[in-house]
Structure 1
Amino acid sequence: MCGVNGIYAYAASAGPIDPEALVRTRDHMAERGPDGAGEWISGDQRVGLGHRRLSIIDLSPAGAQPMPSADGRLVVTFNGEIYNHLELRDRLEKKGRRFVSRSDTEVLLHLYAEMGEAMVRELRGMFAFALWDSERGVLLLARDPYGIKPLYYADDGKMFQFASSVKALVAGGLTSRVPDPAGVIGFYVFGSVPEPFTVYRAISAVPAGTTIIVGRDGVKEPRRYASIARILRDAEDEALKASDEECDEWFREALLDSVRHHLVADVPVGAFLSAGVDSGALLGLMRDLGQTQIKTITLEFDEFVGGASDEAPAAERLARRYGADHTKRRIGAAEFKRDLPQIIAAMDQPSVDGINCWFVAKAAHELGLKVAVSGVGGDELLGGYSTFHRVPHCVKWFGLAARIAGKGTAFARLVETARRSGVRLHPKAIGLLAYGGSAAGAYLLSRGLFLPTELDSEIADVDFLREGLVRLDPLAHVAAALEDGPTSSFGEVATLESSFYLRNQLLRDADWAGMAHSLEIRTPLVDCRLLRRVAPLLGRRHRPNGKSLLANAPSRALPEEIVNRPKTGFGIPVHAWMCEASAGNDPLKFAAESGVPWSRVWARCVSSMHASTPIELTER
C-alpha cells in the first residue's frame, strides 16, 4: 500500500515537466508511505514518476519504487497488493524471466513485458499503477476491478498528471481548482462523490476495472477489462445444482482461497472485529489457515454500553473463541472533537461516512499494525442489505403506478401540493412515484441522501445546481451501471451496491482513513476471483442464505448468538457527539436541528468544513 503519482508532458509544445511539482504531489501523500520516497525522471525530462512506500512485501531496498526493469525500458509506480504474485512469478520464471527482488511490483514489469496491456487480466488483488514504456512512448494506468485502490488524473491537452489522491494532485500546483458541479451535487445525492467525477472539474477518477493509455498523441478513452455487472450476468447462465452440504463446502473452499491470498505479507496481519458474521467468519478462517497471535480490534463507546449497538462484549467472546489477541479501544465525544479537523483534512473527497474506519485504523496503528483484514463487502456479495428486498418490492408495486400516472407530471404535482399545504411528508415518500418503478430509481431512493428535487433548499447557487444535475443526471448515472448486467433482482441490487455504496463510499473511506494512519486495509470479501466462484451459487433460484454460508465457513462455526444477532452495522454515536458539540460555537451547531437525519446534518457539516466543496449553502 503506497502513494503513486506522475506527470507526462506528451505534447511537443508542453516542454519539460516540473520536478518540484512532482515532489509536492508525492509528499502530500506522506502518510500513505512513511517507509520511503522515490522519484524517477526520464532522460528527456518529459516523464516523471513518484512514489511513497509502505513496506508490506519485500521490506528490503530491492522493493523500492519507482522500479525500473533490468533493461531500463519499463518503469512502474504501484499502489496495492498483487495477491497471486507468487504464482505469476513461478510462471514467469519458467519462461526464463529473472527476478532481482521478492516484491510483487517486479512481477508487474515482467508480466507487462510478456503480455502488454492484457497483463491486467492476470492480476488478483487491489491495485492502481502506472507503467511507463519508453520503447512505445506510452504510459499505462490500471485500476483493479472493484476499485479498491484509488487513482485520479488530470489532462490539459498537453500534460497528463495522476496521483492516488485528489488533494495530492491539487497540492502539486499544476491543476485547476474550479469545482465540478456534477461531483459536488453527486455528494449531496449519494453521500459520496460518484466516479468518475470528483469535486474538481479538471480531475477524474480512473474507472474501476479499466486501463488508460497515454501516448504522444494524447489520452485514450478508458478500456474496460473487468466488470462486476458482467460477472454477475454470466453467473445467471451457470447457476449450480447442488445440495445444501455441497453449497457449504463450495463456498468454504472459495472463501478459504480468498483469505489465504489476502494473508500474503512480510509483516503481521491483524483484523477488525465486530460482533457481526463477516468479520467473525474471517477471523475463524484466518485461524483455520494457521494464523496465530492475531491482533484484533473492536471499538467501544460509552453511549452504546448495554444497548443493542454495543458490539464490544460479543466481539470479545468471538476473539476468545478463536484465540485472538484482542484489544477494545474506547472512543468518546472529546476525542471525536479533537480528531475532527484531522478527519476532514484526511478525507480526500467529502463523505458522510468513514469516521468509524478512521478510529479503528487509528487503534490498529497504535498497536503497531501495518495491515488489517476487514469484513467489508460481505453484504454486497451475499445479499445482506435490506435493499435486496426493498428494491425489488418497490419496483413491483410502483412500476405499474408510475407508468399509469405519468411519473414526470404526477411527481411534480405531488411535490408542489405537499409544499403548498405544509404537510411534513418525507421527500422520499413523494419520490416513490417518480423513481420507484425501476431498479435504478428504487436504489436511488433507498441509498440517496437528498433527492435531486430537494437540493434547491440546500444549495443557493441555482446555476451551479442546474449544471450539476444536468452533468450528473443521477438516475441515468445509476442505470448505466446495469448495462449489459444481470437480469435477476438479486444480481441487479448486488451490482448497484458494489458499484456505488461499496466502491464510492466504503472502499474509498477505508482507503483515506486507513492511509491517514499508514494502515493497509485488506478485504477478502471484495475479490473478483471469489465473486466468479460463488456467483453461480448465489444466482440460483433457491439460493442458500448468504450469512449462514459465511457463518459455517470456519471449521469451528460462528456461535448462534452472532448468527442471530440483529444487524446493527459498524455504527458509532456521531449524532450524539455532534449534538453535544453543538453547545459550542463551531460548525457542528446545526446538529441540533430537530427531525433532521444525522447523515444529512453531517453532509452539511462536511460541506462547510471541506475545502474542496466551495459552494454557497442556503441559509438554514
Structure 2
Amino acid sequence: RDTGVLTLARDRLGIKPLYLTETPRRIRFASSLPALLDGGDVDTSIDRVALHHYMTFHSVVPAPRTIVAGVRKLPPATVRTIQPDGTSSEHVYWRPEHVRREQDRGMTARDWRDAVLESLRVAVRRRMVADVPVGVLLSGGLDSSLVVALLAAEGQTGLKTFSVGFHAAAGESGDEFEYSDLIAEHFDTDHQQILVDPARMLPAVDNTITAMSEPMVSHDCVAFHLLSEEVAKSVTVVQSGQGADEVFAGYNWYPPLAAVPRAQAVAAYAKVFTDRPHADMAAILEPEWLLRDDPSRAFIAEQFAMPGAEDTLDAALRLDSTIMLVDDPVKRVDNMTMAWGLEARVPFLDHELVELAAACPPEFKLAHGGKGVLKEAARGVVPDAVIDRPKGYFPVPAIRHLEGPFLERVRDAVNDPVAKARGLVRRDWLDAMLADPNTQRTNLGSNALWQVALLEMWLQERGI
C-alpha cells in the first residue's frame, strides 16, 4: 500500500478467474465479469474478435479478451504489476513444456502408470484439507470414480457422493446412474442420486445463465447448476474429475492428431476441434460482425509456434490444458458451484500432476482409446466395468434437442427487439434454424442454434 504498486496474480491453471476493466485513471478487478458491469462505466460493446472465438471454440474466448470489449481477464499463471504512474508489466510464471524430460528417460509404461497414480494420490490428499467434510461430484466416469477410490483409500469414511440425471429426450438417455451407483456401492459412499424433475428444467436454464460470468454454450452448465444446488444442502466442499480428458488425452479428436506432421499441425487441429470453418461465418453473422482474416486460426498458430511441444499431439494437449480447459470445463464448474456457495476442487489440475502428464510420451496417453496411462493406473483401484466402459458425457437431452418450451425460450430470445437491434446474426439463418432447430450441429456435435441463442440470452440477462 505504501509503494502504490498493485500486483495481480492468477493461479497456474486458471481455476479461479480474475476480470479487469481499465480507464486512464482507474483499474477495477473482480472474480466475476458481472460484478464489473454492475459497477458501471464499462464499454459494453461486443468484441468482434471475441465473437469469432466464441463461434469457433464452442464459446471459449481465450484470455485476455472477453465478449465484452471493456472487460479483460488476466491469463492463468500470470502476474501483472501496475506502477503508480499507470504503467504495467506482465510475467508468465509457469507453463508446462510438453516435452520429454531427461529425468524420465528409460521409464517404462509400468513406471508411468505408477508415477501417475502416486501423483494423483498426492493431488487428492492435498485437496482433502478442510474444516468440513469433502464430498465428490460423481458422474460415473473414470475420472470422478478414481477420485472417490483414492479418497476411500486415504481413509475418508462417510464419503458423500452426488450424481445428477435427467429424463430422456429424443431417444437420448439423460443419466449414467448405472455407473455412479456401481461406484457408490463398491466404496460404500453416502450417495445421493438426483433425478431432475422436468418442471425444474426451464427455470434452471435462466438461473444457469444468470450464474455465468461469461456465456458458456455447454449444456453441462445446467447439469452442474442443478447438481450444485442440491449438493450445497449437504456439503460446502467437493472434489471433481474435471481436467483429466485434456491432461491425459481422453477426447476422440486426439488420436487423429498423433501422426500429423508438425508442419500441418495447425490445420489438423482446427479441423478436428473448431466449431466451423472461418468461411462459414458469413452465412451466420451479419456483415458488420465479419472479419476478413481468421483470428481464431491465427490464435491456434501462435500457440502452436511457442517453444516446446515438438509433436502435434503435444501442441494440442498444451493448448487444450492451459487455455481451452480454463475457459470451458474449469470455468463452467467454478461458476455453477460458486453460485451456491460450493467450493469445487480439481485434483487433476494439480500442477505437479499436469507437469508429469505433459512429460508422458503421447503413446502412453493414447493407449486403450485415450487416457491409457490413467486407465492403467486405475486398474485394481476402481472396478473394471468403469474403466472399460464407453466414454460418457454429462447429457442434458432437453437442450441438445430443442423443442417445446425450450425452443420457445430460444425463439423469444433471438426475436427480442434488443436482439434485432443488436443485429449479430443473419435473419435468414435464424429463420432456417428456428424452422429446423436440431439438424445443424457444430463440428463437435453441439446444437448450432443453442450456441447463438445462449449468447443472446446472456447479453440480455446482463442488460447489454
- What TM-score, normalized by structure 1, do the two folds share? 0.65
Aligned residues of 1:547 and 1:563 also touching (Cα < 8 A):
no
- Which SS does the other structure have where 1:610 is aligned? helix
Task: Report whether the alignment pairs 1:364 with 2:231.
Answer: yes
Which residue in the other structure is 1:601 paired with? Answer: 449
CA distance in 1, matches of 2:163, 2:330: 19
Query: Counterparts of 1:100-111 in structure 2 under 5 Å?
Result: none
Unaligned runs of 5+ in 1: 1-133, 400-436
Task: Report whether the alignment pairs 1:574 with 2:403.
Answer: no
Query: Counterparts of 1:465-480 in structure 2 under 5 Å?
Result: 465-466=290-291, 473-480=295-302
- Which SS does the other structure have where 1:155 is aligned? strand
Which residue in the other structure is 2:185 paired with? Answer: 320
Shift of 1:535: 3.5
Which residue in the other structure is 1:484 paired with? Answer: 307
CA distance in 2, matches of 1:219, 1:246: 49
Query: Counterparts of 1:24-63 in structure 2 under 5 Å?
Result: none
Shift of 1:256: 0.7
Aligned residues of 2:15 and 2:330 also touching (Cα < 8 A):
yes
List per-residue Cα deviations over 1:563-584 (Å, max 9, x = no partner).
1111122222134662232564
Q: Residue 266 and residue 300 in structure 1: after superposition, are their counterparts in 2 closer, same or farther (change >3 A)? A: same
Pick which of 590-599 and 564-573 moved more.
Answer: 590-599
Aligned residues of 2:78 and 2:90 also touching (Cα < 8 A):
yes
Which residue in the other structure is 2:11 paired with? Answer: 144
CA distance in 1, matches of 2:285, 2:400: 26
Query: Counterparts of 1:331-410 in structure 2 under 5 Å?
Result: 331-353=196-218, 354-366=221-233, 368-393=234-259, 395=260
Q: Residue 242 and residue 309 in structure 1: after superposition, are their counterparts in 2 closer, same or farther (change >3 A)? A: farther
Shift of 1:290: 1.4
Which of 153, 164, 170 matches 2:20?
153
CA distance in 2, matches of 1:338, 1:294: 31
CA distance in 2, matches of 1:441, 1:334: 44
- Which SS does the other structure have where 2:349 is aligned? coil
Task: Report whether the alignment pairs 1:168 with 2:35.
Answer: yes
Task: Report whether the alignment pairs 1:449 with 2:314.
Answer: no
Q: Counterpart of 2:309 in structure 1: which amino acid? A: P
Aligned residues of 1:392 and 1:439 also touching (Cα < 8 A):
no
Aligned residues of 1:362 and 1:517 also touching (Cα < 8 A):
yes
Task: Report whether the alignment pairs 1:206 with 2:68.
Answer: no
CA distance in 1, matches of 2:316, 2:8: 29
Q: Residue 599 and residue 221 in structure 1: after superposition, are their counterparts in 2 closer, same or farther (change >3 A)? A: farther
Shift of 1:297: 0.9
Q: Counterpart of 1:509 in structure 2: which amino acid? A: R
Query: Counterparts of 1:175-574 in structure 2 under 5 Å?
Result: 175-192=42-59, 193-228=61-96, 230=97, 232-233=98-99, 235-303=100-168, 310-353=175-218, 354-366=221-233, 368-393=234-259, 395=260, 438-460=264-286, 462-466=287-291, 473-482=295-304, 483-538=306-361, 547-551=371-375, 553=377, 556-574=380-398
CA distance in 1, matches of 2:303, 2:18: 20
Which residue in the other structure is 1:8 paired with? Answer: none
- Which SS does the other structure have where 2:269 is aligned? helix
- Which SS does the other structure have where 1:247 is aligned? helix
- Which SS does the other structure have where 2:136 is aligned? strand
Shift of 1:373: 0.9
- Which SS does the other structure have where 2:348 is aligned? coil
Shift of 1:448: 1.6
- Which SS does the other structure have where 1:571 is aligned? coil
Shift of 1:540: 6.9
Aligned residues of 2:364 and 2:373 also touching (Cα < 8 A):
no
Aligned residues of 2:66 and 2:73 also touching (Cα < 8 A):
yes
Shift of 1:531: 1.9
- Which SS does the other structure have where 2:392 is aligned? coil
Shift of 1:555: 8.8
Q: Residue 452 and residue 615 in structure 1: after superposition, are their counterparts in 2 closer, same or farther (change >3 A)? A: farther
- What TM-score, normalized by structure 2, do the two folds share? 0.85
CA distance in 2, matches of 1:220, 1:339: 41
- Which SS does the other structure have where 2:28 is aligned? strand
CA distance in 1, matches of 2:201, 2:298: 37
CA distance in 1, matches of 2:143, 2:229: 21
Shift of 1:236: 4.6
Higher strand share: 1
Pick which of 541-550 and 516-525 moved more.
Answer: 541-550
Q: Counterpart of 1:277 in structure 2: which amino acid? A: L
CA distance in 1, matches of 2:256, 2:462: 35
Which residue in the other structure is 1:107 paired with? Answer: none
Shift of 1:200: 1.7
Give the % identical residues: 25
Q: Residue 244 and residue 308 in structure 1: after superposition, are their counterparts in 2 closer, same or farther (change >3 A)? A: farther
Aligned residues of 1:139 and 1:215 also touching (Cα < 8 A):
yes
Q: Residue 327 and residue 451 in structure 1: after superposition, are their counterparts in 2 closer, same or farther (change >3 A)? A: same
Q: Counterpart of 1:475 in structure 2: which amino acid? A: R
RCO (CA 8 Å, sep 6+): is it higher in 1 or 2?
Answer: 2
Unaligned runs of 5+ in 2: 413-432
Q: Residue 194 and residue 242 in structure 1: after superposition, are their counterparts in 2 closer, same or farther (change >3 A)? A: closer
CA distance in 2, matches of 1:250, 1:541: 13
CA distance in 2, matches of 1:585, 1:257: 46
Aligned residues of 1:240 and 1:537 also touching (Cα < 8 A):
no
Aligned residues of 2:172 and 2:397 also touching (Cα < 8 A):
no
Q: Residue 309 and residue 564 in structure 1: after superposition, are their counterparts in 2 closer, same or farther (change >3 A)? A: farther
Q: Residue 220 and residue 282 in structure 1: after superposition, are their counterparts in 2 closer, same or farther (change >3 A)? A: same
Q: Residue 188 and residue 339 in structure 1: after superposition, are their counterparts in 2 closer, same or farther (change >3 A)? A: same
List per-residue Cα deviations over 1:534-557 (Å, max 9, x = no partner).
433345789866645434546952
Q: Residue 156 and residue 612 in structure 1: after superposition, are their counterparts in 2 closer, same or farther (change >3 A)? A: farther
Q: Counterpart of 2:125 in structure 1: which amino acid? A: R
CA distance in 2, matches of 1:489, 1:586: 39
